[in-house]
Structure 1
Amino acid sequence: MNLSKQLLIGLKADGFRHPLDLEATNTLKQLPGLDVVIRSILGSVGEQFFYLNNIASSVLVSAKQLPDLHKLLIEACQILDLEPPQLYVQQNPVPNAYTFAMRGKKPFIVLHTSLIEMLTPEEIQAVIAHELGHLKCEHGVYLTMANIMVLATNLLPTWGTVLAQSLQERILQWVRCAEFSCDRAALLATQDPKTIMSVLMKLAGGSPTLAPQLNLDAFIEQARAYDAASEDSLGETLRMMQNAQLSHPVPVIRAREIERWASSAQYQNLLQQHNSKLDNSGKWRNW
């Protein structure tokens, strides 16, 4: 654990929010009653179904249950100046993590066991901080809709006919943009861009057996090559087609964005604006 991290007291979401996130959010806000439309389709019963499905088949992390994960959560919340949500671990062979923020309930994060198994503790904290970024940026309403869409696609066979394709595309476009802000939150919490890029590399081609053999520098070069290959009009068109139906930007794009932002004045200024650090006793002190 890096004990020289900055504690970002008073951190505001607009201090690190990605411009694409802001633009996409404003676009959704121009669709009056969008959240009402989604909730009317699934209703509170739909929300309750996914909530109960989670707590029935996951383990709630606490100081007494999986305490190492709990420490990672608490520290990330302290750094990002955020009230801790609930954290659950769920047995699942698909590496994933997601956040639910529903009306009248405490928000919660879910980590899949297969994701935990191929990450280091620092990388797990980066994933937790990424999910905290959704809460810090108040993505709740649209994020819950997006997660319901994704989960319902697997659990409710009629979902594709219930929701218009154009609305799905708008929501997915927003999610892809919001992910960039959350990657920035992960960087602010870990304060090491290579940790974030390593997570993305493992999401792209990792497994518990392959993860130790992966080369981060080679992956960073791969991300730069992808960027260069899609600079012309054809490349841009193909990239848009590639991402159109995805819920997340492809890992190499996210890695490239983090590499750029880590060297930006905006990121450095955010760290310099705050002057508290974690000392060797594990307590925060002012400098």
Structure 2
Amino acid sequence: MTLSKTHLIGLKADQFRHPLDQEATQALKQLPGLDLLVRNLLGSLAEQVLYLNNIASSVLVGENQLPHLYHLLQDACRVLDVEPPQLYVQQNPVPNAYTFAMRGKQPFIVLHTSLIEMLTPEEIQAVIAHELGHLKCEHGVYLTLANLLVLASGLLPTWGTVVAQSLQERMLAWLRCAEFSCDRAALLATQNPRVVMSVLMKLAGGSPSLAPQLNLDAFIAQAKAYDAISESELGQLLKAAQTAQLTHPVPVLRAREIDRWASSQNYQGLLEKPTLGYNGEAKSKVTGKWRNW
């Protein structure tokens, strides 16, 4: 199918960054030495370990290796105006995708095979664009620390548990806020809120066999029902308790946020700005060939 898409030449992260992400990032910047700790002490080691793991155990996507995924990556990068990172596919039964990026280093994205098998091509591109959102918003340093803390939970000595738990709670809170910005990047790249919400629906209750049977309109109605719970103080408290230890906001909440932002002046204004097309001529829309994510 052919869709008309706006290429967001000169797009800045703060033009789509979620307010909660902005607030949480500023709070982390107030912690003395945190940025320096991750980049200088943890970043180099983590980068080497993950890079070796990908080279040894994953498939690097390129023009001659899974080219359909390579083209989805390139197209998303053009729309979001970001330099393409490396993209790897890794055999894993748990549907997931993640990004690693330290400042000044080679960033990369990893997609699990089980996630790819569950999604359409357009939806895969939304996942890729979500991960590109981490790069665009320069989440790399804090994202690395959040991932390391999650991996290290339960392995820390007793004397460090209280301090580590406090830091982990703050990092998880930041990560949940950052995910909202990345969902917006996915929407900007696909320019179809139903595609992004469909991914969230499949992450909540999908599988290769169930995915085609899921009803997106019913899931959107479910998301609105969840949103309505916040109208009571008890509902707000229950939601906070439910998400306190999660790395991501619950899927229905993310879907509701995308549904809201898709109709906002902020989103519509970004798409209406003139951009540069494939042929170098100024235009507001660029036509390209797209399949389903």
Q: Structure 1 length normalisation: TM-score?
A: 0.92
Query: What's 1:241 paired with?
Result: 241
Offset of residue 10 of structure 1: 0.6
Kindly indicate whether the alpha-carbon contact (under 8 Å) linking 2:176 and 2:247 is maintained by their aligned counterparts in 1: yes
Query: What's 1:35 paired with?
Result: 35
Query: What's 2:148 paired with?
Result: 148
For 1:160 and 1:245, locate their aligned partners in 2 and report how far apart those are by CA, in whole Å: 20
Q: 1:39 to 1:152 in 2, by over 3 A?
A: farther
Q: 1:160 to 1:43 in 2, by over 3 A?
A: farther
Gaps of 5+ in 2: 284-293
Deviations along 1:190-212, whole A, 9 cap, x unmatched?
00000000000000000000000
* Mean Cα deviation higher: 15-24 or 163-172: 163-172
Query: What's 2:173 paired with?
Result: 173
Offset of residue 44 of structure 1: 3.1
Offset of residue 275 of structure 1: 3.7
For 2:70 and 2:204, locate their aligned partners in 1 and report how far apart those are by CA, in whole Å: 26
Q: 1:150 to 1:56 in 2, by over 3 A?
A: farther
Q: 1:80 to 1:46 in 2, by over 3 A?
A: closer
Kindly indicate whether the alpha-carbon contact (under 8 Å) linking 1:82 and 1:136 is maintained by their aligned counterparts in 2: yes
Secondary structure of the residue that 2:245 maps to in structure 1? coil
Q: 1:285 to 1:64 in 2, by over 3 A?
A: farther
Deviations along 1:96-145, whole A, 9 cap, x unmatched?
00000135531000000000000000000000000000101111111121
Q: CA RMSD in A?
A: 1.9
For 1:43 and 1:257, locate their aligned partners in 2 and report how far apart those are by CA, in whole Å: 32
Task: State the one-letter code of the partner of 2:179.
Answer: E
For 1:86 and 1:284, locate their aligned partners in 2 and report how far apart those are by CA, in whole Å: 26
Query: What's 1:286 paired with?
Result: 282
Deviations along 1:156-190, whole A, 9 cap, x unmatched?
x6247556100001111111000000000000000
Secondary structure of the residue that 2:10 maps to in structure 1? coil
Query: What's 2:291 paired with?
Result: none
Task: State the one-letter code of the partner of 1:286.
Answer: A
Q: 1:38 to 1:276 in 2, by over 3 A?
A: closer
The answer as to 2:70 corresponding to 1:80 is no
Query: What's 1:158 paired with?
Result: 155
* Mean Cα deviation higher: 166-175 or 143-152: 143-152
Query: What's 1:16 paired with?
Result: 16
For 2:40 and 2:63, locate their aligned partners in 1 and report how far apart those are by CA, in whole Å: 38
Task: State the one-letter code of the partner of 1:158.
Answer: L
* Mean Cα deviation higher: 124-133 or 160-169: 160-169
Kindly indicate whether the alpha-carbon contact (under 8 Å) linking 2:39 and 2:141 is maintained by their aligned counterparts in 1: no
**Any runs of at least 4 consecutive aligned residues in structure 1 with deviations exceeding 6 A, and if so which?**
none
Kindly indicate whether the alpha-carbon contact (under 8 Å) linking 1:5 and 1:277 is maintained by their aligned counterparts in 2: no
Task: State the one-letter code of the partner of 1:271.
Answer: L
Kindly indicate whether the alpha-carbon contact (under 8 Å) linking 2:38 and 2:141 is maintained by their aligned counterparts in 1: no
* Mean Cα deviation higher: 40-49 or 222-231: 40-49
Q: 1:79 to 1:42 in 2, by over 3 A?
A: closer
Q: 1:284 to 1:215 in 2, by over 3 A?
A: farther
Q: Structure 2 length normalisation: TM-score?
A: 0.90
Gaps of 5+ in 1: none
Q: 1:65 to 1:200 in 2, by over 3 A?
A: same
Kindly indicate whether the alpha-carbon contact (under 8 Å) linking 1:89 and 1:111 is maintained by their aligned counterparts in 2: yes
Kindly indicate whether the alpha-carbon contact (under 8 Å) linking 1:100 and 1:147 is maintained by their aligned counterparts in 2: no
Give the total of aligned pairs: 280
Task: State the one-letter code of the partner of 1:79.
Answer: V
The answer as to 2:118 corresponding to 1:118 is yes
For 2:62 and 2:50, locate their aligned partners in 1 and report how far apart those are by CA, in whole Å: 21
For 2:267 and 2:157, locate their aligned partners in 1 and report how far apart those are by CA, in whole Å: 40
For 2:9 and 2:187, locate their aligned partners in 1 and report how far apart those are by CA, in whole Å: 16
Secondary structure of the residue that 1:93 maps to in structure 2? coil
